[in-house]
Structure 1
Amino acid sequence: MVKATSRGGGRPGTVRPIRRLGDPVLRTACDPVRTFDAALARLVDDMFVTMYEAEGAGLAANQIGVGLRLFVYDCNDDKDRRHVGHVVNPVLVEAGGGTLVEAEGCLSVPGLRFDTPRHARAVVEGVDVKGRPVRVEGTGYFARCLQHECGHLDGGVYIDVLDGDARRAAMRAIREAARPS
């Protein structure tokens, strides 16, 4: 998920390369996290700094080549409230409130944005890095982010929710962007 500006500021961690559309890891459903240890905490830190470096609003673990069910986020909702956090083993348990169609981007499909339909409200349940239960509820852009990142963990990318002419136009733009200049 792409946003306009970075807000990371001095967070510990290592920036990792972001996988691009075409990398098989993006099309493979992620495995549940089973070990809650220092390595998982480091992975979360690395994901945050990678997301901030790329000026993203969310990042799923498979976008940096790690096939685990985990994502991080830093984005605002429809009331401009900022939400920052992570969810391990997330499950999208609710999505509704009507459909919003807005431009959406992805760090794994850099430089391209497409009008993408998403539910106006989403609820995700999972745990944190210590295994404690979390429930995250989002509206507007934050709901979009939650749906986008959960999609990644199931082996999807945001263009998968497009259909008809919108999907054909997106695929054409992706092919053209991939051609050498």
Structure 2
Amino acid sequence: MTIRPLIILPDPKLRLVSKAVETVTDEVRRLADDMLETMYDAPGVGLAAIQVGVPLRMVTMDVSKSETERQPMVLLNPEILSGSEELSTYEEGCLSIPEYYEEVERPAKVRFRYMTLAGETIEQEAEGLLATCVQHEIDHLNGVLFIDYLSKLKRDRVLTKFKKAARREAGGS
């Protein structure tokens, strides 16, 4: 397993719409292992393949609270089937937008479908942190970031901050 470099805002790759996983291959399994390793190392609770530069509809997640009892999930081609009218607000962060957190309102419960690495199709209901994480990661697959749910003023501030940081890192002013 390899820890892969994360794509960081304002990289335009984060806005790509990812392509479906057609077949579960050894390469797909290797990517899933690398993504889990990268997610745990970061540390984070979710990671979309595009965040490591691969535009595939693949997500890894683990919302367990304990390192000793990890519950890793790999979701291929995940999709939200329905969401509750009831909303909940969670403070979200993103490995591609490091050290920035903001409250985001989303459906409190969702029903979603995905394929496993074994090729099995699963439908599942989620609430709480899992529901938030599923929605956040599926957004990534569609080129949507959690900052897109913020006011224009807050979003512009974040983009400006990360553009300046990227210029500094590239050696510009």
Q: If the length of structure 1 is used for normalisation, what is the TM-score?
A: 0.82
| Structure 1 position 95, deviation (Å) | 1.3
Aligned partner of 1:4 in structure 2 is none
Aligned partner of 1:29 in structure 2 is 17
How many residue pairs were aligned?
163
- Note if 1:169 corresponds to 2:157: no
Code of the residue aligned with 1:42 in structure 2: it is R
1:79-124 CA distance string (max 9 Å, x none): xxx7531110111111115111221100000000011111111222
Aligned partner of 2:80 in structure 1 is 92
Q: Percent identity?
A: 35
Q: CA RMSD in A?
A: 2.0
Q: Which stretch of the first structure deviates more once superposed, 91-100 or 101-110? A: 91-100
Mapped to 1, the partners of 2:138 and 2:97 lie a distance apart of 16
Mapped to 1, the partners of 2:12 and 2:162 lie a distance apart of 19
Mapped to 1, the partners of 2:63 and 2:152 lie a distance apart of 26
Aligned partner of 2:51 in structure 1 is 63
| Structure 1 position 74, deviation (Å) | 0.4
Q: Which stretch of the first structure deviates more once superposed, 53-62 or 31-40? A: 31-40
Higher strand share: 1
Pick one of 5, 14, 30 that aligns with 2:2: 14
Give SS of 1:48's match.
Answer: helix
Mapped to 1, the partners of 2:132 and 2:19 lie a distance apart of 23
Pick one of 127, 130, 141 that aligns with 2:118: 130
